[in-house]
Structure 1
Amino acid sequence: MQANILREITPLTSSDCFTIFTRTKKEFDFPLHSHEELELNFIDNAKGAKRIIGDHIAEIDELELVLVGSNLPHVWQTHKCKSEEIREITIQFHKDLLDEKFLRRNQMSLIRKMFELSSKGILFSKETIEQVKPKLKILSQKQGFDSVLELLSILHELSVSRNMLTLSNHSYSGPEHSYNSRRIERVIEHMNQHFSRNISLEECAALVNMTPVAFSRFYRKRTGNSYINALLELRLGHASRQLIDTTHSIAEIAYNCGFNNISNFNRIFKKKKNCTPKEFRENYNYGNRIFV
């Protein structure tokens, strides 16, 4: 697709199972983007809007439910939609929410197949949407383990539904990178615990008894991302979360998340998320986001 694709860094942290975001709006204003997390997007009362998923483009109907796979570019645009009250429920969850070995159990085969198909985007039928719509609407009212069970129930119901339609002709998931490494897990855990201070490449390399050069190559090969960029994205994710969850000033949040220069934080945030921290905080005030 000949367009700039924003890589969205979501506020979903490694400690969360999923996040659900509900809002009512008059238009779609987020740019074409992708993110590692899987996304289930329900849209009501937006007939005539345009859906772009990978290389697929189409106008949508009154009801819309799409499962977007990891790193798949996607966007909804206002286009011909005249609605004054577009209702949207967005659920984002980690691609490893369900362990790979668990997904290979017989009882999980349909959910595993659905996740695989999501690399091209899945549009669910109107009948399926009507069936799961009540569950989607009450999900944000549930808490703790009950909400996780409810999400699993929704995913199961979607996986056994008929008339799924894959949207993009091509998968954008890219090569699968293996995270099954104790060394990588140890480094990621260390980064999550200490992201608020300076964590050098040398420090993480020493943690797993490797030279900085060897560790840098090893990390990129295993994760598909550089160590420096991974740490930056981790910090921006936590900053996004604090912009939503707290009333701390932007300067406080920047320093809390390991950025020693507020101007540098604003510049990087704008480059990575296509809006300033202030604009990001204001945008999220229009909806209700819950982390589980």
Structure 2
Amino acid sequence: MKPILIKNSSSPNHSFSIEERISPHFSVPYHFHKEYELTAILKGQGSRFVGNNIRSFENTDMVLIGKNLPHHWHNDKDSDVPSDGVQAIILKFDSDFNGVRLFDLPENYQIRKLLDKAANGLRIYGDTFTKLVSLMQSLLTATGPDRISLLLKILQEIAVSEELEILSNDGYVPKTKDNESDRMNRVYEYIMTNYLGDISLAKAASVACMNEAAFCKYFKKRYTKTFIQVVNEIRISYACRELMKDDSNVTEVCYQSGFNTFSNFTKTFKKVTGTSPREYKTKLKKLGN
């Protein structure tokens, strides 16, 4: 999937931006930008794409995204959207604050190390998530020097936290300087429209205006995963959310997720999540009790 470049601009009175978004659905496409980004999802569920990592998400999802790292939050279907929409707080900042390299100061060495790690994307969870949401909500209305101090406090909280998960693997290198056509965006749309039903390598190659062999090479070079791996991970992301429902049936979820055989579903599910779908469902029930 080839991301698009989004150019952001801050207010003349602010060196970085923060906003709260409440909308019917996640509408920003698969994209990248030169700023760092901290996104907190307060309401909504679907699939999250960060680099070459694909996982399901629900409320209380938070990710720190490095410079030029492609990312996207996606609602799989209308029923995934809460009746009152989705809600997120998005903080964006650069390493250069109008010529002031704040993070290069010796006192901020932990933050500087954190931003290096953010190149692969970092999921933030647990008590750290709760603390950060409170700080981000305060930052939404802060003015003057309080904005800078809150930004530093947010980043320092992440820097010292152990409640972090690295998302994209080390082998992934964003192809953000690729000036080719939007063929991978067309492939992305094809995948997200059809992954629960009939989807084929031949059709994806056709959408990209390539033969199958060339397409496979092209796709893996840009995503470090095969076309089938990506489709299966999106399907498993969907299956995980379906299994969270109390009345869900593992066999039904298998076929609802686009798999034709239960054995392939189980094998793929375990490869992606490290556990079988039945074990996953059992663990969820225990957590709910």
TM-score category (smaller protein): 0.5 to 0.7
- Equivalences for residues 226-241 of structure 1 within 5 A: none
Residue 44 of structure 1, CA deviation: 0.9
Letter in 2 for 1:83: P
1:33 is the counterpart of 2:34 = no
Shift in CA distance, 173/149, structure 1 to aligned 2, threshold 3 Å? farther
Is the partner of 1:140 in helix, strand or coil? helix
Out of 9-18 and 50-59, give the one that drifted further: 9-18
Q: Which amino acid aligns with 1:18?
A: F
Unaligned residue ranges in structure 2 (runs of 5+): 178-289
Q: CA deviation at 1:82?
A: 3.2
Aligned length: 173
Contact 1:119 1:172 in 2 (8 A): no
Given that residues 103 and 111 in structure 2 are in contact (C-alpha distance below 8 angstroms), is that contact kept between their aligned partners in structure 1? no
Deviations 1:36-84 (A, max 9, x none): 011110111213x110000000001320111110000001001252323
Q: Is the 8 A contact 2:35 2:67 kept in 1?
A: yes
- 1:77 paired with 2:91, answer no
Q: Which runs of 5+ in 1 are unaligned?
A: 176-223, 225-292
The alignment's TM-score, normalised by the length of structure 1, stands at 0.54
Structure 1 101/157 Cα, relative in aligned 2: closer, same or farther at 3 Å?
A: closer
Partner of 2:20: 22
Q: Which amino acid aligns with 1:158?
A: I
Q: Equivalences for 1:117-196 in 2 at 5 Å?
A: 117-170=117-170, 172=173
RMSD: 2.7
Q: Is contact 2:51–2:174 with CA below 8 Å preserved after alignment?
A: no
Structure 2 residue aligned with 1:59, among 52, 56, 60?
56
The 3-state SS of whatever aligns with 1:129 is: helix
Task: Give identity over the alignment, percent.
Answer: 26
Distance in 1, Cα, partners of 2:149 & 2:11: 19
Quote the Cα distance in structure 2 between the aligned partners of 1:141 and 1:24.
17
Name the TM-score, length of structure 2 as normaliser: 0.54
Question: Which of 4, 7, 13 matches 1:6?
Answer: 4
SS at match of 2:141: coil
Does residue 103 (structure 1) correspond to residue 101 (structure 2)? The answer is: no
1:96–1:25 CA distance, 2 compared to 1 (3 A):
same
Distance in 2 (alpha carbons) for counterparts of 1:13 and 1:117: 28
| Alpha-carbon distance, 1:15 to partner | 7.1
Aligned-partner Cα distance in 2 for 1:50–1:173: 19
The amino acid across from 1:74 in the alignment is H
Distance across 2 between alignment mates of 1:70 and 1:173: 10
Distance 1:94 1:101, change over 3 A: closer
Structure with more relative contact order (C-alpha pairs < 8 Å, separation 6 or more)? 1
Name the amino acid aligned to 1:92.
K
Q: Quick one: distance in 2 between partners of 1:64 and 1:57?
A: 13
